[in-house]
Amino acid sequence: MDAFSPYPPEWIKNASHALSFHCPSCEALPHDAKRAWLNRYAPVTDALHRRRWQEFYECQCGTVWWAWSSDRPPSRYQTDDRGENDEFRRGLF
């Protein structure tokens, strides 16, 4: 499965929205998922004109879930000149 395919896979049809960026059933993180698909072909723009998209995951426990890319916690490898002062990253926007 190509995570960047423009066509949605069949397995995402019954996905549930996870309010935190982990499996809503077993709380596993996305890097433990069996499959992933990013819906980058239908982005949503927020109030600050930043794009976000849906990320779909099939967990090892069998749960299929999705979350907004903007809900993903910041990576320790990402350098961001705004740091923790960025309201969007802190979830205040």
Give the structural domain span for 15: 10-72
pLDDT given for residue 28 in this prediction: 96
**Does residue 85 lie within any of the structural domains?**
no
Q: Is the pLDDT of residue 82 over 60?
A: no
Q: What is the mean pLDDT of the chain?
A: 85
Higher-pLDDT residue of 5, 63: 63
**Distances from the Cα of 21 to the Cα of 6, 8, 15, 57, 69, angstroms:** 23, 20, 14, 10, 9
Residue 1 included in any domain: no
Higher per-residue confidence, 79 vs 40:
40
CB 86 within 8 A of CB 48: no
Between 83 and 6, residue with greater pLDDT: 6
Taking the CA of residue 56 as centre, how many other CA atoms within 13 Å lie in the half-sphere pointing to its CB?
A: 22
Domain count, the chain: 1
Task: Tell me if 30 is assigned to some domain.
Answer: yes
Is 91 domain-assigned? no
Question: pLDDT tens digits for 23-61?
Answer: 999 999 999 999 999 998 878 888 888 889 999 999 999
